[in-house]
Chain A
Amino acid sequence: MKQRVLMKGNEAIAEAAIRAGCRFFFGYPITPQNELPEYMSRRLPEVGGTFVQAESEVSAINMVYGAAGAGARVMTSSSSPGISLKQEGISYMAGAQLPAVIVNIVRGGPGLGSIQPGQGDYFQSVKGGGHGDYRLVVLAPANLQEAVDLVTEAFDIADLYRNPVLILGDGLLGQMMEPVEFRQSTPRELPAKDWATTGLCNHNGQKNVINSLVLHAIDLEAHNIHLQEKYALIKVAEQKAELLHCDDAELVVVAYGSTARIVKTAIAQLRDQGHRVGLLRPISLWPFPEDAFAKVMPVAKDFLCVEMSAGQMVEDVKLVVNGARPVHFYGRMGGIVPTPNEIATQVLQIMGVK
């Protein structure tokens, strides 16, 4: 029998990680994600795992680096200002090709900002964040069932490609409660971690080194080319998106995460009124779901990107649409969550409905 449990978002993500085999968690308190490390500190000892409250986000991500380099399934979580502090370690992990899952329960910014939900960390998440040419796989759940499903997926993707994966939530998802079911994902064939620094006795005496330093330009370029080839594979294989009512949609709203839930309510209202409106919801923000856009392009006349930001994902929408259709934008900032009515009004305006 299916067992559904009512859980808070932060705790559901933590439990999903444990069920995905995560046994190491290194974190630092910051609102609105505190329930996640708190849950880990309680649960991990029960399953023989380790929780360490680090002295800072900088230290936490470097503990993740060490643990990932030693072959563990390892997670850290934080919220926007703390994720900024982790960017150094994330860049090093991308360079050293270390798998780990990082959760960002986004709040309003910039600076200390607020503790209300926001989507202002999109650029930081998908365009780099730290220094150097690298990519994270970025997964953005819109409800808690999807969040727990994506956590398992995130660990698998991280291990498969030896790359950090970011779960991009927000304060709304972290704090809300919904019923979730912890279910088995389709198992992927994952490579052995024969590169891990567990001591020579654990890998036939062959020395393993975890490192992102490549001093000679020709070698560093070769390393970068290898990374780019890996990202190209991910781009083909790991795009995820939901299409809703897009078969006949003249206007396609593009939204991710919590915002997409509100857009769905708006679209239900608009459909009831007979308007041909659909939703394209990117689930993978990187790789950006370009294939899904190709599916809706034949019918769509306009795109409307809705975000809890000043307009960040809209730049990627414009890149994909490439001038073929008008791309409109509507956003709220500072922790303000847009209402379905606001979104519907925008849609009707674009469609020329008085």
Chain B
Amino acid sequence: MVKVFDCPKSLTDMPTHYCPGCTHGIIHRLIAEVIDELGIADKAVGVAPVGCAVLAYNYFVCDMQEAAHGRAPAVATGIKRVVPEGVVFTYQGDGDLASIGCAEIVHAAARGELITTVFVNNGIYGMTGGQMAPTTLPGDKTSTSPYGRDTKKQGFPIRVSEMLATLDGPAYIARVSVHNVANIVKAKRAIKKAFEYQIAGKGFTLVEVLSTCPTNWGLTPKESLEKVQRDMMPYFPLGDYKDIEAGEKK
């Protein structure tokens, strides 16, 4: 019998704390598969965020640091400068990266810091109970935008990938989704490319992954995946926003 699927070696066997239907688990698996395939588990150092993935340090079989809210790119900078032969990645949500950590991610990207950021965008603060995020869609209801996000009062969502792609430091910026199998395959390809670019010393790399929050969206897992495709993807289009090997998009 041929084994066609296995748990990646770079994931611990600890059960995750993520809610049923949340796509963090898929994204964790993709990163772990990439680490396995590139054979870098023994020199990878991950940085966990504050947010739903705060306990990510329990799930990867590599060295990890737990950063303060939003500071993962600064912490990763410190690690990478000390261990330049290491492969350093941050795993951050939208509140962490696009709100409180906006300065850290912009400047890590601008410096062309040789790190890889996996940016999980589900448009809401999951861990703290469903507050409005910098990426919450206009009109979406959250616990701090109970009447729906009013762009006149609460401004507009930030398109992080597009914004960072304007900088010269990044080598690869892509937005992917994990709402179906075809996109999961593409997402893995993007994450692998980001790690490969880091290892080759090409520059800063970031993969934004559109994700779900069934618990705080108040939707079933299936409805949540549909929302990603129906509502999020038009506002946050998928694609490579920067790839120094392929030229810039648009």
The answer to whether A and B assemble together is yes
Residues of A in contact with B (beta carbons under 8 Å apart): 24, 26, 50, 52, 54-56, 58-60, 62-72, 74, 88-89, 92, 96, 197-201, 205, 207-213
**Residues of chain B contacted by A26 (CB below 8 angstroms):** 78
Complex: A108 Cα to B79 Cα, angstroms = 34
Q: B86–A62 contact, CB under 8 A?
A: no
User: Is B89 interfacial (CB 8 A cutoff)?
Assistant: no
Q: A70–B83 contact, CB under 8 A?
A: yes
**Residues of chain B contacted by A59 (CB below 8 angstroms):** 71, 74, 77, 103-104, 107
**Residues of chain B contacted by A68 (CB below 8 angstroms):** 78
Q: A24-B78, A63-B77, A74-B78 are in contact. Are A55 and B65 (CB under 8 A)?
A: no
Could you pull out 24 A-B pairs where Cβ atoms are within 8 angstroms? A50-B81, A59-B103, A62-B74, A63-B77, A63-B81, A65-B67, A65-B68, A65-B71, A66-B47, A66-B78, A70-B45, A92-B68, A197-B45, A197-B63, A197-B64, A199-B43, A199-B62, A199-B83, A199-B85, A200-B42, A207-B62, A209-B63, A209-B64, A209-B66
In-complex Cβ contact of A70 among B68, B82, B103, B106 (8 A) = B82
Complex: A63 Cα to B107 Cα, angstroms = 12
Q: A59-B103, A62-B78, A66-B78 are in contact. Are A211 and B42 (CB under 8 A)?
A: no
Q: B64–A210 contact, CB under 8 A?
A: yes
What's the A-B contact tally at a CB cutoff of 8 Å? 133
**Residues of chain B contacted by A200 (CB below 8 angstroms):** 41-43, 61-63
Residues of B in contact with A (beta carbons under 8 Å apart): 41-45, 47, 54-55, 57, 61-68, 71, 74-83, 85-86, 103-104, 106-107, 111
The A contact surface, by secondary structure, is mixed
The B contact surface, by secondary structure, is mixed
Distance in Å: Cβ of B15 to nearest Cβ of chain A:
15
**Residues of chain A contacted by B83 (CB below 8 angstroms):** 70, 197-199
Complex: A349 Cα to B70 Cα, angstroms = 55
**Central interface residue in B44, B55, B63, B111, by most chain A CB within 10 Å:** B63
Q: A66–B63 contact, CB under 8 A?
A: no
Distance in Å: Cβ of A40 to nearest Cβ of chain B:
13
Report the nearest A residue to B78, measured CB to CB: A66
